[in-house]
Amino acid sequence: MSPAIHLVDGTGEIDGTDQDSKLALCQQILGYQFKDPTLLLSALTHASGAVHRLASNERLEFLGDAILGLTVCLWLFEEYPEYNEGDLTKIKSAVVSRRSCGKVAIELGFDRCLIVGRGVTRNRSYPRSLVSDVFESVIAAMYLDGGDEVVRPRLKVWLADEVRHAVESQGSNNFKSTLQQYAQRELASTPVYRLVRDAGPDHRKSFLITAVIADRQFAAAWGSNKKDAEQHAAANALAELHGDPLPFSSDLEETAK
């Protein structure tokens, strides 16, 4: 279930919150004090609460979308070297989607900082994209005020769960890469793969391989070649680490069914 959105206007008539307190709250959430608070004010101002269209967060949203995309692309490029262009594109698209951005924005509390017109607070049929837009506009405001060194580390904290989920779901065909990233991040070790045995004639041989991390050996899995067997072994290791059922069997007859 999605978190509830809490919209208040900038008049102080809904919950006693005025523009100054919203700016203070947002900076507290961000852990960053703006040198130019007018940038943040623009980022938080929805078109319905702006004096005119150019005073709203729409231009900052345009810039923030590009900054968000570049930051996530660099992040994935640097930390997931085994993924190809297609995998990286799918993961990036999931991370920067309106759903992800809106979810993170609400979890952080950006919806409580929005400055909107009274019509929006009275009519609850507003688009769900509203909070994802403010996420992007705040990113742009921070970038303009403090640069990449302010934006990048915060995004890596805010979006860590979204990236992890996207890698595990969108990158499901590359279990070895996912396991390597998990092992290096959580266990300070790199997986190795060991051949347990092989079976069958030379022209149709199968291989049973196990993943090993540090001193822990995980459930082995069969594959019609060593590459597939390693992928299956990595998938089994991930399942064990997360307490999930094993996706691949170590029983050759069962695998052949």
Three-state secondary structure string covering the chain: CCCCCCCCECECCCCCCEHHHHHHHHHHHHCCCCCCHHHHHHHHECHHHCCCHHHCCHHHHHHHHHHHHHHHHHHHHHHCCCCCHHHHHHHHHHHCCHHHHHHHHHHHCHHHHCEECHHHHHCCCCCCHHHHHHHHHHHHHHHHHHCHHHHHHHHHHHCHHHHHHHHHHHCCCCHHHHHHHHHHHHHCCCCEEEEEEEECCHHHCEEEEEEEECCEECCCEEECCHHHHHHHHHHHHHHHHHCCCCCCCCCHHHHHC
Task: Give residue-wise pLDDT tens across range 107-161.
Answer: 999 988 888 765 554 444 345 567 888 999 999 999 999 999 999 999 999 999 9
What pLDDT digit, counting tens, does each position of 125-136 carry?
345 567 888 999
Q: What is the mean pLDDT of the chain?
A: 83
Q: Which fold has domain 19-170?
A: Ribonuclease iii, N-terminal Endonuclease Domain; Chain A (1.10.1520)
List, as residue ranges, the binding site for Mg(2+).
61, 133, 136
| pLDDT tens digits for range 91-104 | 999 999 999 999 99
Percent of the chain's residues with pLDDT above 70: 80
The pLDDT value recorded for residue 27 is: 96
Domain edges within the chain: 19-170, 175-256
Residue 101 near residue 132, CB atoms below 8 Å = yes
Task: Spell out the residues 6+ positions from residue 143 whose beta carbon is closer than 8 angstroms to its own.
Answer: 63, 64, 67, 150, 151
Beta-carbon neighbour count of residue 42 at 10 Å? 22
9, 65, 111, 230: which is the annotated catalytic residue? 65
- The two tokens of residue 20 are 């100054």
Q: For residue 151, what are the CA distances in angstroms to 37, 142, 195, 256?
A: 16, 6, 45, 50
- Contact present, 208 and 199 (Cβ < 8 Å): yes
Give the residue numbers of the binding site.
61, 133, 136
- pLDDT beyond 60 at 16: no
Residue 145 among the catalytic residues: no
Class of domain 175-256: alpha beta
Q: How confident is the model at residue 171, as a pLDDT?
A: 57
Question: Does this model's pTM top 0.85?
Answer: no
- Of the residues 9, 87, 136, 162, which is catalytic? 136
Which residues, at least 6 apart from 35, have a Cβ–Cβ distance to it below 8 Å?
145, 146
